Amino acid sequence: MTSQDLGLPGLEVEKAKVSLEALAKMTGFPVEMIKEEILSGQNDQEISLEELRSAMLNYIDSTMLLVGDDK
């Protein structure tokens, strides 16, 4: 995916920002759940794709560790 694909000529895709409201609509999760569970209480209303990817990996890692503790 290029910056032109997102309608953002000259802007790096990784630095593009997505609003938490738009993310909530795309995923079906409430904004507050995204803030608390994935972004660890961060109050920003927008997040870059790079920051989102990092936060999601951290969330997945932490939940997988919790599941592993139940065995």
What does the pLDDT profile of the chain (71 residues) look like in tens digits? 444 455 555 556 667 889 999 999 999 999 999 999 888 888 889 998 889 999 999 989 988 877 665 55
Residues facing 18 on adjacent strands: 47
What does the DSSP 8-state code read for residue 34?
A: I
Q: Is 8 exposed, middle or buried (0-12, 13-18, 19+ CB in 10 A)?
A: middle
Per-residue pLDDT reduced to its tens digit, 5-14: 555 555 566 6
